[in-house]
Amino acid sequence: MKISNLLAIFALIALAVWLNIWADKVPKPGEIRGSIEYFIERDGHKNLNIKDILALPDSVFRTQERCCNIGLSRQAIWFRFQEKNTQPSKEDFLVEVVNPSIESLLFFQVNGTTPVASFVTGASYKYWQRPDTSSRTANNRNFIFPIKIAKDSSSWCYLKAKSVYPLSLRILFFEKDVRMQQQQRNVDILMTIFYVMCVVFLLLAAILIQSIQQPFHWHYFMYVLLTTMFVPAHLGLGFRYIWPEYPDLQFVIPMALNNLRLIFGIQFFRYYFDLPKTAPRFNKVVNWTIGIFCFTLLIQLIHRAFDPWLFVGWVFYPFFGLLVMFSLFVLAWLFRQIFLRRYGRITWIYVIVALNFLGVAITSQQYTGFTWLERFGMSWVDLDIADKVLTACGVANTFFLSPVVIAAFFIEMVLVFNISNKRYLKLIEKGQKAQMRLAKAREASLSALIMGAENERKRIARDLHDGACVNLAAINMKMDSLAEELGKSPELASKITEIAEDIGLTFKEVRDISHDLMSKSLEKTGLRAAVEELAVRGERAQSGLRINLFVNYPLETIGSFSKIHLYRMLQELLGNVLKHARATEVNLQMLESDLFLLITVEDNGVGFDSKLVASDGIGLSNVRNRADMLQGQMHLDTALGRGTFVSIEIPKKELE
């Protein structure tokens, strides 16, 4: 594990501890100043109305340290709290119940013993048919109740909640303008940042996944996409904007999306660690878990058509129990891998899994209403660090889904993107190295081919010079001798002389071919002498042609391999001039600059239209290939009637 990673983790832990201590000293925006008491209707006290509740003694009400995770209850639950107006000029306040999925909710404001305001609402109503929608404050994902409290007076607020699902909620109290302006603006900014980051991640992730060609990353893509859909559905925004006419969907879609995203997350975990190969037994456990989750998903989709109490008892609680057990099993497996040092280098993967486990623990507690920290005597532990951050920033926590779950998901998303990006960069680096190896292999192959051709040229030139040329010279000498002996027969002597002249021409052509194949000057006296000889031979080959040669480059410093390539390029370019240009003057230069050797060949011939030529001919193609082998560049400038200019620029370091 890198030291920087350890320091980062310790810094995060220290920050969390500091926030946990400091934020407790800062008042939470929207927090009820007094205690919140609750009463559960039981036998003998069922279907009570507000008058019945007001007649009950205070002793029947209980308080909860962290309100309000009640859990499962078949009976209605009453909450009450008292608030006093300490504002000098404000009388309008709002009570906000943070849980958009409470089936039935009744609100009462009581002054003394007289109810002065009441509202009936709940998630079982169509969104637009809620009794409180006549107020602009009702246009909110949570349940909001407007009340009036006179200056320096107090008022009691009573809430009656009933749901077939485990009950978990928070009750907030705001001055009206503060909630609908400042706090709403804060919430809008946070949600906008969250959705923009999710969309950007999904777009970039799709590009990365397509590039790295590792299909299992699509499981994480789907996990993020489904989580991006789950968060607004869980917060009540789906009910508000997408299915306001279908209340039952509010009890189906959020749970189904949560289940489905977990399935894709587990699939990503399985293929990332390659469990089928590295841990086949653990992989079987994962397969069974995914199968159970898929079956639970089917039950979740249809449970509202039957008795929801059966679903809660036989599916809901077992599902979350299995989810927590599976999370613990994953943590145990990862700790085992750390102990065995199998995955010691991928530290951030452990952080990602830990964040997932934290999210699962908090979400399970919220869904089931099971306050397991309090049950185990750890009520002093508060895992919702993100709530502390919001408090420190003066932002009210109006999110039903715990902010730490959203924050953990956001951090996890950034870490996974970082890991995928590193894999992408490694893949690019690997591809570049492979291309470089391939290019070097091609260059080596082409170089070997050219050197083989050069060696063959040398052999053929040597054979022609030492064999055919010598034989032709000997034959020519014999023919001259024979012509002298046949001097008495002028007619026969003339024929012998003609044959000798033909042999002499053949000898000259063979010798020229031998020189073209491999210049003796290049082998014996160097490149400069070979180029000068090339110029002289060019002038002799075409009457009236003048070749001007200018060299200021130290040609003696050029290596033998590069020397051959330069000579062949000049030979080809001058050959093209002789064959096609019909020029009277050629300027050939070999110039030295700071980093390059610049070769230019310019003629005043007829030129040609480069647009009409689909590609370089064999000659120019050979010149370009040889320039490429020396990491150089060739440029061609020509037009009909104004000659041709060819320049070749080669780095000095390639000529050594």
Quote the pLDDT of residue 344.
47
605-608: long-range contacts (C-beta < 8 A, 24 or more apart)? 605/577, 605/580, 605/581, 605/643, 605/644, 606/580, 606/581, 606/582, 606/640, 606/641, 606/643, 607/581, 607/638, 607/639, 607/640, 607/641, 607/642, 607/643, 607/644, 608/580, 608/638, 608/639, 608/640, 608/644
Tell which residue, 600, 598, 551, 601, has the closest CA to residue 576: 601
The tokens for 63 are: 């308080």
Tell which residue, 23, 434, 366, has the closest CA to residue 165: 366
Residue recorded with tokens 């390059």 = 596
Q: How many Cβ atoms sit within 10 Å of the Cβ of residue 33?
A: 11
Tell which residue, 472, 549, 480, 464, has the closest CA to residue 507: 472
pTM (global) more than 0.85: no
Quote the pLDDT of residue 31.
87
Q: Where are the alpha helices (DSSP H) in 464-580?
A: 469-485, 490-517, 520-524, 527-541, 560-576
Q: 75-116, pLDDT tens digit by residue?
A: 899 999 999 888 877 888 999 999 998 999 999 999 888 888
Using a 10 angstrom Cβ sphere, with 0-12 exposed, 13-18 middle and 19 or more buried, the burial of residue 62 is exposed
Quote the pLDDT of residue 253.
93
List the beta bridge partners of residue 172.
96
The backbone torsions φ and ψ at residue 654, rounded to the nearest 5 degrees and listed phi first, read: -85, -10
* Amino acid sitting at position 339: F
Q: 231-283, pLDDT tens digit by residue?
A: 999 999 999 889 989 999 999 999 899 899 989 989 988 888 888 988 899 89
The tokens for 436 are: 């470089």
Residues 6+ apart with CB under 8 A from 614: none
Q: Where are the alpha helices (DSSP H) in 35-123?
A: 50-55
Quote the pLDDT of residue 230.
92
Quote the pLDDT of residue 381.
53
Quote the pLDDT of residue 487.
62
Alpha-carbon distances, residue 298 vs 257, 259, 295, 301, 401 (angstroms): 12, 10, 5, 5, 23
Please work out, in degrees rounded to the nearest 5, the angle formed at the alpha carbon of residue 217 by the alpha carbons of 211 and 219: 140
CB-based contact 511:531 (threshold 8 Å): no
Distance CA 50, CA 110 (A): 9
Quote the pLDDT of residue 133.
44
Quote the pLDDT of residue 522.
72
Q: 406-428, pLDDT tens digit by residue?
A: 877 888 888 787 877 777 788 78
Tell which residue, 419, 387, 426, 381, has the closest CA to residue 403: 387
Residues in the chain with pLDDT values less than 50: 1, 133-134, 136-137, 344-345, 614
Tell which residue, 246, 253, 263, has the closest CA to residue 232: 253
